Amino acid sequence: MAESMRGMRLGTQSLESDRGVALSSRQTAEFRCAQGHQFPVVFSSDAELPQTWECAACSSVAIRFENGAEIEVTGLDVEPKRSHFDMVLERRTRDELEELLAEVLAEMRDRRSKGRLTA
Ligand SMILES: [Zn+2]
C-alpha cells in the first residue's frame, strides 16, 4: 500500500513539474522523516513553507530540512504521530537495556571481587 501511494505521489509530482517549467518562480524544500526518508517538495516561491510534510514512503511526519539540519518545529501544526512515538519508545527501550547491562556488569564485578565467579 505504501508503494502504490508513493507511485501516485511521484506521478503527480512529475506532472506538476512539467507544467511548472513555464512558471519560473518555484522553490524546493527538503523534508526528512523519522525513518530517514528524505525528499524534495516543490512550492511556488510565494508560498509559506510548511514545517512538516507527510512522508510519501511511510506516511509519518517529515520535518523540513534546511542547510543540512532539521528545522526546529514550533507552533501548533506539530502532530505527534506514530513515528515520533516510535522514536520515544525506541530511546526508552535502549536506555533500559543499557541500564540492565550496567547492572549485570556491576553484579559480575561484585561477584568476581568476592571470588564466587569461579567457585
Ligand atoms: Zn518516511
pLDDT digits 0-9 by tens, 72-99: 888 755 555 556 667 666 677 778 888 8
- φ, ψ (nearest 5 deg) of residue 99: -65, -45
**pTM (predicted TM-score):** 0.44
Question: Ligand 1 mean position to 74 CA, how many Å?
Answer: 20
Which class is domain 1-78?
Answer: mainly beta
Question: Ligand 1 mean position to 10 CA, how many Å?
Answer: 14
Give the closest residue to 39 by CA, choosing from 60, 24, 15.
60
Distance CA 64, CA 4 (A): 24
Question: Ligand 1 mean position to 34 CA, how many Å?
Answer: 7
Question: Ligand 1 mean position to 21 CA, how many Å?
Answer: 28
Question: Ligand 1 mean position to 48 CA, how many Å?
Answer: 22
pLDDT digits 0-9 by tens, 34-59: 999 999 999 999 889 999 999 989 99
Band (2; pLDDT cuts 50, 70, 90): very low
